[in-house]
Amino acid sequence: MEDWLHSYVDFGLDKIKRGQMFKIFLHDGLIPFLESMGYVIGTPINVLYGRMVCGLYENRNKSTMESKWDMEHYCNGWNEDDRLHYFHVIDPATWAEFWNSWRMIEDFSEESGRGQDRRIDMEHFVWRQLDLENSYQTEVLYGEIIDEEDVEQDEQTKKVDVYLLEVAGWGGLRR
């Protein structure tokens, strides 16, 4: 892996070491992108970097379906609503726009053999590294859930029992 990280790759008009390129990607690309979308990274940056480069290295010749990542969660308190909300907020079009701005990285390039696979891997990998408790999007999600519950309660209180209406209409007296 050391040889791979120390190999020189194209980065714009320059050639830099792959490990340095991934640090730039992480600090100038991925983290600001996630923060702009309302998420906070919970995993310490050096640990995140290590997991990211290990995953990219170990899976560099594998399809997404075969790849295995260190998918340890920063926070195990998430639920399915949190995960679905993440993939709703950062939908495929949003990810595509992000990846377009980083297409010069050969490991993520569509021209490379497995670039698309690594993009998909990264999208799922970073989800597990988020601090959902301190992310703005968690407030948004729970606000939406509370609003939905309020609407459901309002609808239930507005439902009228037809039997009670009929009883009220004739005063409850039989003729």
Q: Tell me the per-residue pLDDT of 130-171, one tens digit each, with 9 for 90 and over.
A: 888 877 877 777 665 565 554 455 555 556 566 655 656 655
- How far apart are the C-alpha atoms of 103 and 96, rounded to whole Å? 10
Take residue 125 and report the two structure tokens written for it.
């990998």
Question: Quick check: helix, strand or coil at residue 17?
Answer: strand
The greatest distance separating any two alpha carbons of the chain, rounded to the nearest whole angstrom, comes to: 97
pLDDT of residue 160: 59
Please check the confidence at residue 3 and state whether its pLDDT lies above 80: yes
Based on its alpha-carbon atoms, the radius of gyration of the chain, rounded to whole angstroms, reads 25
- How far apart are the C-alpha atoms of 21 and 53, rounded to whole Å? 11
Q: Which pTM does this prediction carry?
A: 0.74
Instruction: Using pLDDT thresholds of 50, 70 and 90, give the confidence band for residue 75.
Output: low
- How far apart are the C-alpha atoms of 18 and 2, rounded to whole Å? 10
